[in-house]
Structure 1
Amino acid sequence: MSRATLAGLGAMLLWAFLGLLAKLAEGIPPLQVTALGMGIGGSAALALVLVRGQARRLRQGGIAWLHGVGGLFGYHALYFAGLAFAPAVEANLLNYLWPLLVVLLSAPILGMPLGGRRIAGVALGFLGCALLVGSGARFPAGAMLGFACSTAAALVWGLYSVTARRLSAVPTEAVAGFCLASAALAGLLHLLFETSVMPDARQALALLLMGLGPVGAAFFLWDIGMKRGDPRLLGTLAYGIPVASTLLLLAGGFGEPSWRLALAAGLVTSGGVLAAKTARKQA
């Protein structure tokens, strides 16, 4: 396995902790979480870029900025809103439709054929998510808004990831600028629409770890992995994230194990593996 592919794997390992850290920061409004987390990650990355004398790599065209800020800000604002309004485990699993959407969106956006097995894989993923929120499932009032946000987050990240292939010339260092711009946008919207909350010690630590890891270093590792590593292998491994993330949430006490949850996680992961294996065979 190449170093670049290992970098992509590192990003996925960090993302597995995002749901748990977000719940540990619970009580902080979603846009404030987005602003603080991405501000920490972007600031750390900018410092590294400046120390290396690579500030010129932040100068990118408007399309690159629109893509980077739209993807990073849009995804995380929706993701944190989903966790704020809906049960954590179910909202987190819905969010991890994005690997399946990457496969599905590759056809209309990149012109890649789907094939029967890929379509079957996507169908399994959606079946698993439908099982979570379908008939017989009981959730508190307002949960559907959270589920809608989580599903929208998956769509945004799927679009961001697929369209990134058309912007492969954009250097990884530019992500530092995208993070800081996303943090500024989230901060502005937070001041307009939310009430600020002073983090306590637990929330502050969770935000710090989030900014340095899943909402910081993970972006750069993923960018390296997708541009220089083996995307087929990374695509296969990505479907383990929802299981790992769900287990971490359960271990942290944010949710109750159930047959519905186990079956849904199995369907989402199996669908992703089926789609990814098909892609590897046809590559």
Structure 2
Amino acid sequence: MTRTTATLIGFVAVLLWGVLALLTVGSAPTPPFLLNALCFAIGGTLGLVWTAASGGLSQLRVVPVQVYVMGTLGLFGYHALYFSALRLAPAAEAGLIAYLWPLLIVFVSGLLPGETLRRGHVFGALIGFSGAALVITGGATGFDASALPGYMLALACAATWTAYSILSRRFGAVPTASVAVFCVASAILSVPLHLMLEDTVWPSGTLGWASAILLGLGPVGLAFYVWDIGVKRGDIQMLGTASYAAPLLSTIVLVVAGVAAPSWSLALAAILITGGALLAARASLKVRPNSKVG
């Protein structure tokens, strides 16, 4: 598999995260942690079935325990912190802080062996962040000091996903099938939080169950497997910058579905995010030519 192919596979995760908001809306009124448990259970179970069918279960037995702990904390921790942040702070501002993770990935990945951080990566990520800010903040009126605990949780959320992605790169020899175990463990951990903090409300009707199942198959399932391939074998800096397309795609999907209204800020965000990604891609091409990565 070439570096470019792995990067493109990783970008599939960004495309899947683009429908996360629409499917989440469709799954209402199921509370977050119950939805988390359902989706991770679906994604994890399918991953284990695929691993068994391909004869890869034996690989899972030799994966170090610390890798399973790291992966579970990454997937479960990110979502737990994100949901908690949105309960304690305005959604737009908390979401913007949480979406610092692509920028952090670009910066921190420059410290990894074999990686080079160029000005194009930095400027591309900053331009992409400005575009994402336009989408995420929407009609936000400013940061509220009383919501500081929520903002801090959102920052911890961004740091968690950054650490998960960077450490996945460091454990490049660990098979992607291990993500199935991360998902199942995350589903199990979501159950007690649901029982402690939420009322049990199952998805409603065909639309609700279809949305929950599709979430488990895509944005909270397949996305983690292809992201693992991308950050381990692809251009992690390019992926970081390109990830700003997720909130843009999410908003476009909501507009097409009639849930949100189109705006000039959305068009400007598209220009900024696309421009930032192109700038980062140009910088990546200067660093190294396409090569085999395994």
Shorter-normalised TM-score: what interval? 0.7 to 0.9
Amino acid at match of 1:250: V
Residue of 40, 43, 49 corresponding to 1:41: 43
Aligned length: 283
Task: Specify the SS of the correspondent of 1:190.
Answer: helix
Question: Are the counterparts in 1 of residues 14 and 243 from structure 2 also a CA contact under 8 Å?
Answer: yes
Structure 2 spans left out of the alignment, 5+ residues: 289-294
Displacement, 1:177?
A: 0.7
* Partners of 1:66 and 1:233 in 2: CA distance: 27
Amino acid at match of 2:214: L
Displacement, 1:41?
A: 0.8
Amino acid at match of 2:126: A
* Partners of 1:248 and 1:111 in 2: CA distance: 37
Displacement, 1:218?
A: 2.0
Displacement, 1:173?
A: 1.1
Amino acid at match of 2:124: G
Moved more, 238-247 or 130-139: 130-139
CA RMSD between the two structures = 3.8
Structure 1 spans left out of the alignment, 5+ residues: none
Match of 2:204 in 1: 200
* Partners of 1:145 and 1:23 in 2: CA distance: 26
Q: Deviations over 1:128-168 (max 9, x none)?
A: 455567797348x9999887766654443222212211101
Alignment of 1:188-267 (within 5 A): 188-201=192-205, 202-229=207-234, 234=239, 237-267=242-272
Alignment of 1:55-134 (within 5 A): 55-59=57-61, 60-79=63-82, 96-108=99-111, 112-128=115-131
Question: Are the counterparts in 2 of residues 105 and 159 from structure 1 also a CA contact under 8 Å?
Answer: no
Alignment of 1:15-34 (within 5 A): 15-34=17-36
Displacement, 1:176?
A: 0.8
Match of 2:189 in 1: 185
* Partners of 1:218 and 1:79 in 2: CA distance: 17
- TM-score when scaled to structure 2? 0.77
Question: Are the counterparts in 1 of residues 166 and 231 from structure 2 also a CA contact under 8 Å?
Answer: no
Question: Are the counterparts in 1 of residues 18 and 250 from structure 2 also a CA contact under 8 Å?
Answer: yes
* Partners of 1:135 and 1:252 in 2: CA distance: 18
Change (3 A) 1:75 1:128: same
Task: Specify the SS of the correspondent of 2:58.
Answer: helix
Match of 2:292 in 1: none
Match of 1:137 in 2: 140
Match of 1:282 in 2: 287
Question: Are the counterparts in 2 of residues 88 and 249 from structure 1 also a CA contact under 8 Å?
Answer: no
Would you tell me which structure has more helix in proportion to its own residues? 1
Change (3 A) 1:81 1:29: farther
Task: Specify the SS of the correspondent of 1:172.
Answer: coil
Amino acid at match of 2:64: G
Residue of 169, 174, 179 corresponding to 1:175: 179
Displacement, 1:22?
A: 1.5
* Partners of 2:92 and 2:259 in 1: CA distance: 7
